[in-house]
Structure 1
Amino acid sequence: MMSELICQYCSHRNVGGAISRCTHCGAPLRAAAHKAAAAVEPTAHVVEKTVEKTAGVAETAVKVVAGLPPWKWRVFGVLIAVVVLFGVVVARSCSPSIPSLFAVPQQSAVSALPEALRSAASCVQLNTTEMVQKCVIGASHPLLAGGISGGKELTFHAEVSLPASLSDTIRRWRAGGATVLTDGPVFAAIGPSASAWYADTRSGLRLETGSFSGKAAAQTFLTRAGLVR
């Protein structure tokens, strides 16, 4: 018992079993140190057991999941796919206007031209961001016979526009002082500089030419090209 009252740091011998610290240096006595260790040991043991139990539960869960038969995994995958598909359908049904806002016309401007005009013109796409075709008809082509283009080749631009854009273009043409030839599903007019303006709201085709020798010449071209009757 006396050895338990010897200071573990300065080896000072203390008298009195109730003393827990050295009266010389204040360090814990060996008896107190043993008690502290005894108090810590059960706590460490509890922590260790808790970790072991947690690991055991996790291992059991992994075994259960891994042990599921393949058909259950397939059923689970089908359910997930159905939930995802349902979410996509609901999102689309709630936003019916989104596709129409960003839709890109599928028909090209050249294919939308009447046959007579398509065969007479040589067209190239101006750029990749705007689907605008620049087309040229040679000065000697029968569509320009009679000098309706002043003896020069005729350039026109064509594109297939979305309905909203085409409506804005027609409003702008009307406001620009056009001489309207036909106004309905097909809009055709002669501009102030004797250029031909054409829009078909059914196909989305919009066409605007260079200047002719006069308004009568521009109207003649529209008729010859099969744009108006």
Structure 2
Amino acid sequence: MIRGIFSAASGMIAQSDRINVMGNNLDNADSQGFKSDTATLRSFDEELALRTTDAVPVGTLNAGVHVSGVETDLSQGELQQTGSSYNIAVNGGGFFAVAAPGGQTLYTREGDFAPDASGYLALPSGQRLLDSTGAPISAAGFRLAANGAYTNDAGQTGTVPLYTGTAAKRTDGFFDLTGAQGATGSVLLQGYVEKSNVNTVTDMTGLMEASRAFQSCQQAYNTGTDTLDKLVTQVGSLR
């Protein structure tokens, strides 16, 4: 009985995690360059059941389920023309390098850049786009070729690079890249942004399925705890 309660509780936790992941996807369905996530479930390792009298194996027991990890879908999102010469979209693989206000280099597919207070290309949240030398790029008269070469009215010339590597999504939506190196074979489009690759139909369907599974686990948990309560308080009580 205790094992059944534990299994039901683990199912509730796992489904709650799935709901949170899919809910976050739907919340960011309109976020530029957002990449959707999927929670992967797997069962806990099975335990060998033994007879209490002589320890002879009688079979295995599954101890429940848990979220083993969250995988990010890095597939291409739809490209949308904006008409703004500051916006840039990636058609292909790779990430932009941007500088956080504290100086840390982060990676992103978000491309809705605009001039910040100092006239540099930056995201709405303040991170400045970096060129291949690690310098911020002036937005004045910014002109970009498909291969990433750029010029501007501030006299800068250079390249807007793209990077690839082992990507790990951060809680703020940006990425950390392990073994970052230059990406090749991609095209940069000025005046476009890449939309989120969230499939709202898939996530809405999955959200309803996970909610029903959570409710089923909750019912099993309540049944188990109610039965255990009766076993402790009523069965075998002396009158």
* TM above 0.5: no
TM-score (norm: length of structure 1): 0.21
> Looking at both structures, which has the greater relative contact order when contacts are Cα pairs under 8 Å and sequence separation is at least 6?
2
Structure showing the higher strand proportion among its residues: 2
Structure with the bigger percentage of helix = 1
TM-score w.r.t. length of structure 2: 0.21
Find the structure with the greater CA-based Rg: 1
